[in-house]
Chain A
Amino acid sequence: MSKLLSPAKTEVLFMGNEAIARGALEAGLSVAAGYPGTPSSEVIETLAAVTKERKLYVEWSTNEKVALEVAAAASFAGLRSMCVMKQNGVNVASDFLLHLAASGTRGGIVLVTCEDPGALSSVNEGESRYFARMLEIPLLEPANFQEAKDLTKWAFELSEKIRNVVILRSVTRMSHASGNVICGRLPDKFRTARFIYDGLITDPLRGPVISTPVVAKHTLQQKKLEKAQKLFEDSSFNKYFGPKHPELLIITSSVCFLYSQEALSMLGLQKRVGILKLGCTWPLPTKLLKKYLRLTDKIMIVEEVLPFLEENIKVAAVDMLKEIGIKTFYGKKDNTFPSVGELNPDLVVHALGKIMKVKYKSLAENYTQEIKKIAPLIPERELTFCPGCPHRASFWSINNALQLDGRGGFVCGDIGCYAMAALTPAIGFNTVRTLHSMGSGTGLASGFAKLNAFGLEKPVLAVCGDSTFYHAVIPALINAQHNRADIIFIVLDNAGTAMTGFQPHPGLAVSAMGESVPAVDIAEICSAIGTKVAISDPFDLEGTSRTLTSFMAENGSLKVLILRQICALSPEKKGKKKFLMQVDEELCLGENCGCNRLCTRIFRCPALVWDRIKKKAAVDEVICAGCGVCYSICPQKAIMRTEAAD
């Protein structure tokens, strides 16, 4: 049985995301929708695993905007729903979110955003906290694992009290770390969906769900926010820890609370520094704030990336200047903390130590020297494609075609595992030259292709994954077709949303809940758009190269190539080798002229290893996935392949 269903009062080790899921279940969640995105994916995954035991509908939607719409529908029908995404997903959902916040909601609805400061699993470290302020909805941030559960549960209650969507924000070190949580009660009654819509347009609860009349509904929206603020003043999620008369007050939220606590403990400053932990960070509970801002003139704000909390507190402080006096703020603006990258306890220790004049060496004297000594021994681990990854083969063929063409063509990249072709240029054979957000590769390519009128005569290619195709690429593709952008559009179809953990998408005949559902075929969509479509197996290097080369020789219209080969880590393939690979050392030319280590230096499958002593290539049988592609690479045919037994 999933630990998500543990009985009340049991203490369970939960990942932050699991705690959030549990909190939602305890709140009587009926519907959850999202799009995979690290570090948020486990929330939906764990809920999808308990849909048989709980009356629950869980969906992986095509993108975050649709996911929010799906969750909103449940809310309009009086059910409690949740929408889950990573930070940039909020940007995608934001147009709808703007209107949702204006129209108001009915059943409690919580938008969970799991952010990635420092971009450990993203190509941005954007902030979604500002959406709360900009769209005038409440923002909650759990500071530990118990709160991840409790605050989520309360978020639904808050949402229903004010009849609007509530944002709950987590970060990597909350979502993916684990801690003990004492479970509450799971409800045994479930709500019935009821959509009431025949009231007046001005009645948000019984009329049509609509953001107009705009000024009236906006006024109502702001009143809702004031109501939330009142509730925040008394919330137990906003708590002070520390002495009655601190020398310095730390105001913080999220995991930065844990870093602050750790820093105080390391520096021994618990009696001199107080911490005001805010679980409700928008709107700020100003009365509460006033109470604690009075305690001292030195205020330190500890938060990730941008100075959201810092600026809001400063604005509030100015409004109460006469009552609290002038403060000295330590935060991002005065460079106490950086506005980029991830925060950690060491940074807080360093800042506190300086201000409170306490010396603390978190690193030993000779730490840097010792690191320099052993650094050469640490093997370089570049971001790369797995052994057996179809993308390696695809980019190999793409590079071949681009070089043969000779006009300096390039690829506009997109988001997925294949994004690594841009992050580590060598593994994409230096073909990918732009990388932004989901679906942007095709849009950029559509734009680049029209520049031939201005003298840009390079072939333009775009790649995208199968999941990305449904998410955001279709409008860009239609744009390219309709505006006659002469691009070669390549879908890297590995039958799953691989980068985030192999979640299903509309291209597969299975849903998040494991049900059998109709698949929507990419090739058919492209044909319907009116483009020429070819399908190839990327492992067939020659065939793929031939198709690409012939595409590049054609001018004038959009061409689509679908490279179909299932991901090496897919449940179906994992562990099953198609071929057994071995290097014939006598044939291997190694670093000599005639080869110069093509397989280990250029192709770079992790399973191909360069033996520095023998000066020959070798296959690491443990990690080799048995795809057999390297057989075609070796100029000496020294990499032998035999069919593996079933």
Chain B
Amino acid sequence: MAFPVKRLSSQKLLKKGVLEEELCTGCGACVGLCPYQVIYHDRTVQLHYCDLKDGKCYAFCPRTPTDLNALRELLFNPDDLTPEIGAVKSYYFSRAADSRLRESTQHGGTVTALMEMALAEGVIDSAIVSSRNQEFLQKGTVVNEKAALRNNAGSKFTVSPTVAAFNQSVNDKSGKIGVVAMPCQALALAKMRLKPVQVESGKIDQLQLVIGLYCGWTLSAEKFTKLLTQNNITLNSLRGMDIPAGKNILELYTNNDTQAVPFDDVQACVREACRYCLDSTAEYADISVGSARFGNDWEEMRRWNQLIVRTEKGKELVELAIKRGTLEIREAPVESLQELKKAAMEKKNTALRNIIRKSGSAKNLLYLDRHDPIVQKFLKNKASDKKSR
């Protein structure tokens, strides 16, 4: 970034480099650390001026310059790394064994099942998940009891500042914490693990588990609410949403029926920051979970998840879940992994294109380091694309 980093305060750098550039993903990493930043509706707001130069807000934000290599070294086995989807120890299809649980979840209920078990087995003492909120305003919620997790199950398509909840709730009494995180949030939590700022840096050690979610984009709550109103759908009546594979719509499940909104209309509501995101599979988590969208068997597959195990911790948890009968596993077809990598690569390419268009130059990748080996790979691909045309 071209800002005089030495002279400006962290808060100002955050404002100029992220907030004003519409790069803010609403992850909540800069919130809950201090009284200066808050999240309101789905905007990050700076209430007062802070003049500190080495602040946590700037250090933790996933959209400020990041040493991705350092993160990979800290978290993963280099042999597991793939350029498209990060570290892959193993890859399955999975679903919660408890069929009652699966009724209230989006697809296979894998995340809820894993978190429930982690709590029950004492792997974690509390879980931070995004909560269901009537006005589509999500916030992170700390959950200590298994039953409460089910209440918060189901995908949300607007941003939830979950990391803010982590920041606010981590203290002497909160013990081991597990977080369900979007890719940007997993990245923020990983940056926190590097301990860039000394003050209270021990808190991040309480983070024991990060379950990441696949993500293509999130919606701006404001714009999406307007869209719903235009389609005569009230917020109160909306029970859930999904994107069926192959069709170009967003399905909305209300109390009475299912409605469909053209995907183009939904695209217009996508949060601007998502256009510059390279991570569709939450590469910096212990485990990443998404829907098992695969080919033509949508109706069958929609009740299953894809599961990527990335770290030792993730591996232990999944093995425990299999042992305890919490999770049903089946082998994923090879094509599924190929499709996933292809989709992930497309997202990276699109994001890089958008970044270069925004910055005006391939030498300025905004928050990405153009010398990072993985980033380089994709830049080269793009360069060779150009040449071949």
Q: How far is the CA of A400 from the CA of B48 in the complex (A)?
A: 9
CB of A400 within 8 A of CB of B35, answer no
CA separation between A569 and B43, bound complex, in Å?
40
A400 to B10, CA, bound (A): 21
* Distance between Cα atoms of A429 and B43 in the complex (Å): 21
Q: Kindly provide the distance from the CB of B335 to the nearest chain A CB, expressed in whole angstroms.
A: 46
Please give, as numbers and ranges, the residues of chain B lying within 8 Å of A429 by CB-CB distance. Answer: 48
Q: In the complex, are the beta carbons of B55 and A593 less than 8 A apart?
A: yes
Closest to A602 in B: B48
The CA of A589 and the CA of B56, in the complex, are separated in Å by 14
Residues of A within 8 A of B197 (CB): 593
Is the beta-carbon distance between B46 and A592 smaller than 8 angstroms? no
**CB-contact partner of B45 in A406, A594, A602, under 8 A:** A406
Distance between Cα atoms of A594 and B32 in the complex (Å): 9
Contacts A404-B38, A404-B40, A635-B35 hold; do A594 and B47 have CB atoms under 8 A apart?
A: no
Interface string of B27-57 (1 = CB under 8 A from A): 0000001111010100101111111101111
Q: Does B331 contact A (CB under 8 A)?
A: no
Nearest B residue to A430, CB-CB: B49
| A594 touching B34, Cβ below 8 Å | yes
CB distance from B32 to the nearest CB of A (A): 10
Instruction: Determine if A596 and B51 form an interchain contact, defined as CB atoms under 8 angstroms apart.
Output: yes
Count how many chain A residues have C-beta atoms less than 8 Å from C-beta atoms of the other chain: 17
| Interface pair B34/A404, CB less than 8 Å apart | no
Tell me how far the C-beta of B192 lies from the nearest C-beta in chain A, rounded to whole angstroms. Answer: 13
**Closest chain A residue, CB of each to CB of B34:** A594
Give the docked Cα–Cα distance between A633 and B34 (Å).
11
Given A593-B52, A593-B55, A596-B52: A406 and B34 within 8 A (CB)? no
| Residue of A404, A594, A633 with most partner-chain B CB within 10 A | A594
Nearest A residue to B197, CB-CB: A593
Task: Decide: B43 and A592 in contact? CB cutoff 8 A.
Answer: no
Chain A, 610-642, contact with B by CB distance < 8 Å: what is the 0/1 string? 000000000000000000000001010000000
Residue of A nearest to B55 (CB): A593
In the bound complex, how far is the Cα of B41 from the Cα of A404, in angstroms? 9
Given contacts A594-B33, A594-B199, contact A403 B46 (CB under 8 A): yes
* Residues on B with beta carbons closer than 8 Å to the beta carbon of A404: 38, 40, 45, 47
Query: B1-34: which residues lie under 8 A (CB-CB) from chain A?
Result: 10, 33-34
**Does A93 reach chain B (CB closer than 8 Å)?**
no
List residues of A (397-453) whose CB comes within 8 Å of B's CBs.
399-400, 403-404, 406, 429
Q: Is the CB of A594 within 8 A of B50?
A: no
Tell me if B172 is interfacial: C-beta within 8 Å of chain A: no
Q: B170 CB to closest chain A CB, in angstroms?
A: 12
Chain B positions within 8 Å of A602 at CB level: 48-49
Q: Is there an interface contact between B48 and A594, defined as CB atoms closer than 8 Å?
A: no
| Neighbouring B residues of A403 by C-beta, 8 Å | 45-47
Choose among A403, A406, A596, A635 the residue with the greatest number of B CB atoms under 10 Å from its CB: A596
Q: In the assembly, what is the distance between CA of A591 and CA of B47, in Å?
A: 17
A598-B52 contact in complex given A406-B43, A593-B33, C-beta closer than 8 Å = no
The reply to whether B45 and A595 contact each other, CB–CB distance below 8 Å, is: no
Question: Which one of B34, B51, B57 contacts A595 once the chains associate, using CB atoms below 8 Å?
Answer: B34
Question: Which residues of B (184-235) have their CB < 8 Å from a CB of A?
Answer: 197, 199-200
CB distance from A588 to the nearest CB of B (A): 13
Chain A nearest CB, measured from B221 CB (Å)? 13
Contact B45 A593 (CB under 8 A): no
Which of chain A's residues have a CB closer than 8 A to the CB of B52?
A: 591, 593, 596
- A635 near B34 with CB under 8 A, answer yes
The answer, among A406, A591, A594, A598, for a CB contact under 8 Å with B200, is A594
Contacts of B33 in A (CB 8 A): 593-594
Cα-based distance from A429 to B52 in the complex (angstroms): 18
Quick check: A592 and B45 within 8 Å, CB to CB? no
Report the nearest A residue to B167, measured CB to CB.
Answer: A594
Which residues does chain A contribute within 8 Å of B200, judged by CB atoms? 594
Residues of B contacting A595 with CB < 8 Å?
34-35
Q: How far, in Å, is A481 (CB) from chain B's closest CB?
A: 29
* A635 CB contacts on chain B under 8 angstroms: 34-35
Q: How many residues belonging to B are interface residues under a CB distance threshold of 8 Å?
A: 23
Contact among B35, B38, B40 with A598 in the assembled complex (CB-CB below 8 Å): B35
Q: How far is the CA of A589 from the CA of B198 in the complex (A)?
A: 13
Q: In the assembled complex, how far is the CB of residue B313 from the closest CB belonging to chain A, in whole angstroms?
A: 28
Chain A residues with CB under 8 Å of B35's CB are: 595, 598, 633, 635
Complex: how many Å from CA A403 to CA B10? Answer: 19
Residues of A within 8 A of B199 (CB): 589, 592-594
A244-266: CB near B (< 8 Å → 1, else 0) gives: 00000000000000000000000
Tell me how far the C-beta of A311 lies from the nearest C-beta in chain B, rounded to whole angstroms. 48
Q: In whole Å, how far is A408's beta carbon from the nearest beta carbon of chain B?
A: 12
In the complex, the chain A residue whose C-beta lies closest to that of B40 is A404
C-alpha gap A64/B38 in the complex (Å): 46
Q: Which of A275-316 contact B (CB under 8 A)?
A: none
Q: Which residue of B lies closest to A553 (CB)?
A: B41
Contact A593 B54 (CB under 8 A): yes
Q: How far is the CA of A404 from the CA of B55 in the complex (A)?
A: 22
Contact with B along A565-599 (1 / 0, CB 8 A): 00000000000000000000000010111111010
Contact of B40 with A594 in the complex, beta carbons under 8 Å: no
A640 CA / B46 CA spacing, docked (Å): 26
> A400 — which chain B residues lie within 8 A by C-beta?
47
From B34, B43, B54, B56, name the one whose CB has the most chain A CB atoms within 10 angstroms. Answer: B34
When distances are taken between beta carbons in the complex, the residues of chain A under 8 Å from B57 are 593
Rounded to whole angstroms, the CA-CA distance of A403 and B40 in the bound complex is 10
Q: A593: which B residues are within 8 A, CB to CB?
A: 10, 33-34, 52, 54-57, 197, 199
Known: A404-B40, A635-B34, A635-B35. A598 touches B48 (CB 8 A): yes
Say how far B56's CB is from chain A's closest CB, in angstroms.
5
Which residues from chain B contact A589 at a C-beta distance below 8 Å? 199
- Please name all residues of chain A whose beta carbon is closer than 8 Å to the beta carbon of B56 when the two chains form the complex: 593-594
8 A Cβ contacts from B88-118 to A: none
Q: What residues of chain B lie closer than 8 Å to A406, measured between beta carbons?
A: 40, 43, 45
Contacts of B43 in A (CB 8 A): 406
Determine the distance from Cα of A429 to Cα of B49 in the docked complex, in whole angstroms.
Answer: 10
Query: Which of B36, B38, B47, B54 contacts A399, CB < 8 Å?
Result: B47
Residues of A close to B45: CB separation below 8 A: 403-404, 406
Shortest CB–CB separation between residue A264 and chain B, in angstroms? Answer: 53
Chain A residue with the shortest CB-CB distance to B54: A593
Residues in chain A near residue B50, CB distance under 8 A: 596
Q: Which chain B residues border A399 with CB–CB below 8 Å?
A: 47-48
| Minimum distance in angstroms from B279 CB to a CB of chain A | 27
CA distance A429 to B54 in the complex (A): 24
A residues near B49, Cβ cutoff 8 Å: 602
Q: Which 8 A-B pairs have the closest CB atoms?
A: A404-B40, A635-B35, A602-B48, A593-B55, A594-B34, A403-B47, A592-B199, A596-B50
A selection of 15 A-B contacts at a CB cut-off of 8 Å is A399-B48, A403-B45, A404-B47, A591-B52, A593-B10, A593-B33, A593-B34, A593-B197, A593-B199, A594-B34, A594-B200, A595-B35, A596-B50, A598-B48, A635-B35
Given contact pairs A404-B38, A593-B55, A594-B199, a sample of 16 additional A-B residue pairs in the complex whose CB atoms are under 8 Å apart: A403-B46, A403-B47, A404-B45, A404-B47, A406-B40, A406-B43, A593-B10, A593-B54, A593-B57, A595-B34, A595-B35, A596-B36, A596-B51, A598-B34, A598-B48, A633-B35
